[in-house]
A and B are shown apart, each in its own frame.
Chain A
Amino acid sequence: MEEILEERHTLAVLVDNEAGVLARVIGLFSGRGYNIESLTVAAVDQAAHMSRITVVTNGTPMVIQQIRAQLERLVPVHKVVDLTLQAPSVEREMALIKVACSGEKRVEALRLSDAFRARVIDTTHTSFVFEVTGAPSKLNAFISLMRPLGLVDVSRTGVVAIARGPEAM
């Protein structure tokens, strides 16, 4: 039989900002064995008590469709949009990256951070904290370049995404 390939999809989920809603979404993924590559959540409309969840997941097209239908079925979920299907959209992630180094390595780290448009947001004589924003692949590339230079800590936000053009989701 022909193998059905897994695809990576980014879903935007608009939910009521009520107790337990995140647990419901996460429980759905773990309970049904779906993958979560990244998940971010924050309130986006205080007045209307709404939050937006961005989930990056992977699976066969049939599984992705299931995930969407299962999310839509949750009572506090207003809307689910598959941004990957509804291209074009933009994705961004931010990371805070701590590198401890001195001498030559320090210069090299700074030089590379410049190339990646990372900002130095904290520094001591022996360390930097960089702030870098971009597609997850860019963050991965930057992190792997920092590894030999003295990478000590990484904190990433996970992906946020939005469709291009004038329309709301």
Chain B
Amino acid sequence: MSGREMTGAAIVLKALKDQGVDTIFGYPGGAVLPIYDEIFKQEGIRHILVRHEQGAVHAAEGYARSTGKPGVVLVTSGPGATNAVTGLLDALMDSIPLVCLTGQVPTSLIGNDAFQEADTVGITRPCTKHNWLVQSADNLARTIHEAFYVATNGRPGPVVVDIPKDVQFATGTYVGPGQAGHKTYKPQVKAPTDVIAEAVAMMGAAKKPIFYTGGGVINAGPKASQLLRQFVEMTNYPVTSTLMGLGAYPASGDNWLGMLGMHGTYEANNTMHDADLIICVGARFDDRVTGRVDAFAPDAKKIHIDIDASSINKNIFVDLPVIGDCAHVLEDMIRVWRSKSVQTDKPALETWWRQINTWRARKCLDYKKSEKTIKPQYAIERLYELTKDRDTYITTEVGQHQMWAAQHFHFEEPNHWMTSGGLGTMGYGLPAAVGVQLAHPDALVIDIAGEASIQMMTQEMSTAIQFRLPVNVFILNNEYMGMVRQWQDLLHGGRYSQSYSEALPDFVKLAEAYGAKGIRVSDPADLDEAILEMINSPVPVIFDCLVDKKENCYPMIPSGAAHNEMILGDDQDGAEITEEGKMLV
């Protein structure tokens, strides 16, 4: 037993190793020095020193989303913990499993406004799935194992373990993961058989069905994507996805309608609107997807598969809730479908597809090409064409470039697309790319960025240089906070209040200052060659792609409008934006 006695700091490292952790993203400080000392003394776990704690969390998110494993973060007390908050909420909104360890002032000083004290469990309570303040070294190992269990089971999410400095120094007993679990938290992964049977019966009877899939399919692991593809092929039903679910069904698949929602395709949104059955798999009917809720898919029955019961009937009332893990539920549904030899209504489906194909024929993602300026859509198209044969991972910042990336870059596999969907955090993309590249050293990793967003986390370029991570930042530089400007066009009479990107840095020189490579292009004729130069560069690249400054992102469902009231382009009026619509974000 005596071999299991060790300091709290040693317990932390041992617990992480026993959990199979190979990478920690972190930043040191007074309240975590004992843990950093243990990191110094060992070799099994590499520590990635970021340049800002928010970057550590986004990097861990990129690592987690691209591998399916939990990301691990280590930060100090006070400002270290508060800097991590944005990343934690980002991970909570997008259901990313993270374990964030924070240092805390010694237990004797808690509550005394000690130097670098923050009420970390209080501040992070609404930004995490759960959190703990560890009061004794004997509880430390058990708590860390429990933290991994909670982060990765059920609907995944971030957790925080706050560890006072005296607990790191104190001696305690180490216990292994053992039958790691939690005495009460035991999420339901399989749905009851009668519910599965009813879902299958509803599907068989549908005349105008659609699969509406989301990030839950990705989170349920590669098997869930496999099963989704199989089910789509068996039924020949059309499939759309949220921003978070891209890649679960391949963009090259015959039944793919593109993304749905505010900047989704005409065909996806109209198919949703006219459907008589929506099979929602791991998505949550959020406001970016539904548009006006009282006009959302008025004639559709809805089946909602979700591991989180609180996602059901939150925004949209559904006819059949199926609570369980997407992979388990899809597997059971396919099995029942087969054993009952369910037949689809082929003539009805044929009519349905004919209708869908007329919507597809609108070619809603088309844009006016130009020989003089680089259209942002064109830049993404070329980026896709020139990288599609490589193992490419895309991260993004937030804005128009993010939506153009979702529309014009086509994803064939899950876990290859990381974007901040729920929180919409500018600054996410570069650190996330760092995390992805660490997990996939030989892959091509590109952050599709805007010139405004990238300035929120540019410092992580230094991390990329230090760890020799050849990440690429592909900036669609329109000299505007384009998405803000687009809304100002739409809602505020074109008064561009504070949305011009004034005093921009010279991104090429900035790249060089970090020791990276800088590339600038403004002529469409030079684009391909420059992209090739970027993807073949052994060092990180900042690519300053000067694009059309005035381009707006379409199609668009204006806020407060319904799915069948899309605006397709600048020259086309869509639905009038109501006063109520203006209130929405």
Which residues does A use to contact B, with CB under 8 Å?
1, 16, 19-20, 23-24, 27, 31, 62, 65-66, 69-70, 72-78
Contact = CB atoms under 8 A, between A and B. Distances in A.
Given A20-B121, A20-B125, A76 B184 contact: yes
Interface string B25-60: 000000000000000000000000000000000000
B122 interface: yes
Contacts of B183: 16
Nearest to B310: A69
Interface stretch (B311-319, B434-442, B500-508): B311-319
B182 interface: yes
Interface string B117-140: 000011001100111010000000
Contacts of B310: 66, 69-70, 72-73
A72 B309 contact: yes
B254 interface: no
Contacts of B122: 23
Given A62-B313, A65-B313, A69-B309, A27 B125 contact: yes
Given A1-B294, A16-B184, A66-B314, A73 B309 contact: yes
B314 A19 contact: no
B317 A62 contact: yes
Nearest to B129: A75
A16 B184 CA distance: 9
A19 B133 contact: yes
Nearest to A31: B126
Residue among A1, A23, A65 facing the most chain B CB atoms (10 A cut-off): A65
B145 to A, nearest CB: 14
A73 B133 CA distance: 20
| Interface band, chain B | 20 to 34
A75 B125 contact: no
A157 B162 CA distance: 34
Q: Is the interface of A mostly helix, strand, loop or mixed?
A: helix
B125 A77 contact: no
B583 to A, nearest CB: 16
Given A66-B313, A73-B309, 19 more contacts: A16-B184, A20-B121, A20-B125, A20-B131, A20-B133, A23-B122, A23-B125, A27-B125, A27-B126, A62-B313, A65-B313, A66-B310, A69-B312, A70-B310, A74-B130, A75-B130, A75-B184, A75-B185, A76-B184
B126 A77 contact: no
Nearest to A19: B133
Contacts of B308: 73
Contacts of B133: 19-20
Interface string B182-195: 11110000000000
A78 B312 CA distance: 20
B184 A78 contact: yes
A151 B121 CA distance: 42
B547 interface: no
A134 B290 CA distance: 46
Interface string B286-323: 00000000100000000000001110111001000000
Nearest to B308: A73
Given A20-B125, A27-B126, A77 B309 contact: no
A123 B358 CA distance: 84
Nearest to B159: A75
A76 B129 CA distance: 11
